[in-house]
Amino acid sequence: MTISWYRAATRPRRIAVLSVHTSPLEQPGTNDAGGMNVYVSQTAVEMARRGVAVEVFTRATSSDQPPVVELAPGVTVRHIPAGPFEPLQRGELPSQLCAFTSGVLRTEAFQEPGYYDLVHSHYWLSGQVGWLARERWGVPLVHTAHTLAKVKNAALADGDTPEPRTRVIGEEQVVAEADRLVVNTEVEADQLVRLYGAAPRAVRTVSPGVDLARFRPGSRARARAALGLPGDAVVLAFAGRIQPLKAPDVLLHAAARLLEREPALRRRLVVLIAGGPSGTGLEQPSSLRELAERLGVSDVTRFLPPQGGDDLVGVYRAADVVAVPSHNESFGLVALEAQACGTPVVAAGVGGLPVAVDHERSGLLVPTHAADDWADALARVALRPGVREALARGAVEHARRFSWARTTDALLETYAEATRAFPGVGLEVAV
H helical segments located in 50-96: none
d(CA 10, CA 34): 31
Q: Which helix (H) or strand (E) holds 388?
A: helix 385-399
Say whether 165 counts as a known binding-site residue: no
191 is in an annotated binding site: no
On whether 123 is known to bind a ligand per the annotation, the reply is yes
Tell whether 2 is in a known binding site: no
The answer on whether 28 is annotated among ligand-binding residues is yes
222 known member of a binding site: no
The reply to whether 105 and 126 lie within a common domain is yes
Q: Give residue-wise pLDDT tens across range 378-427.
A: 999 999 999 999 999 999 999 999 999 999 999 999 999 999 999 865 44
**Has residue 286 been placed in a domain?**
yes
Rounded distance, CA 103 to CA 124, Å? 18
Assess whether 376 and 417 both reside in one domain.
no
According to the annotation, is 294 in a ligand binding site? no
- Residue 359 falls within a domain, yes or no? yes
Same domain (yes/no): 367, 231: yes
Nearest to 79 by CA among 24, 153, 8, 157: 24
Residue 421 marked as a ligand binder: no
Give kind and range of the element (H or E) at residue 169. Answer: helix 165-177
- Asked if 177 and 285 sit in the same domain, the reply is no
pLDDT, tens digit, 9 for 90 and up, residues 163-180: 999 999 999 999 999 999
One domain for residues 244 and 320: yes
Confidence tier at 3 by pLDDT (50, 70, 90): very low
Other CB atoms within 10 A of residue 83 CB: 16
- Look at residue 281 and tell me whether its pLDDT is greater than 70: no
231 lies in the same domain as 180 = no
The CATH number assigned to the domain holding 232 equals 3.40.50.2000
33 belongs to an annotated ligand binding site: yes
389 is in an annotated binding site: no
Given a cut of 90, whether residue 211 has pLDDT beyond it is yes
Q: In the 8-state DSSP scheme, what is residue 296?
A: T
Consult the annotation and say whether 393 binds a ligand: no
329 annotated ligand binder:
yes
* 415 vs 417: CA distance, rounded Å: 5
Q: Which of 180, 189, 195 is nearest to 207 (CA)?
A: 189
The count of domains in the chain is 2
One domain for residues 36 and 56: yes
Non-local (6+) Cβ contacts of 63 within 8 A are: 85
CA 199, 204, 205, 208 dihedral sign is negative
59 marked as binding residue: no
Is 337 among the domain residues? yes
Distance separating alpha carbons of residues 255 and 252, to the nearest angstrom? 5
42 assigned ligand-binding residue? no
Mean pLDDT over each residue of the chain, to the nearest integer:
91
246 annotated to a ligand binding site: yes
412-416: long-range pairs with CB below 8 Å, 24+: 412/11, 412/47, 412/50, 412/52, 414/142, 414/180, 414/182, 414/204, 414/206, 415/11, 415/12, 415/15, 415/118, 415/120, 415/140, 415/142, 416/9, 416/10, 416/11
Read off the pLDDT of residues 318-369 as tens digits, 9 standing for 90 and up: 999 999 999 988 888 999 999 999 999 999 999 899 999 999 999 999 999 9
State yes or no: 317 annotated in a binding site.
Answer: yes
153 annotated to a ligand binding site? no
pTM of the model: 0.88
Whether residue 134 is annotated as binding a ligand: the answer is: no
Range of the domain at 380: 220-399
Is there a binding annotation on residue 32? yes
Residues 131 and 280 in one domain: no
Closest CA to 57 of 74, 77, 40, 37: 77
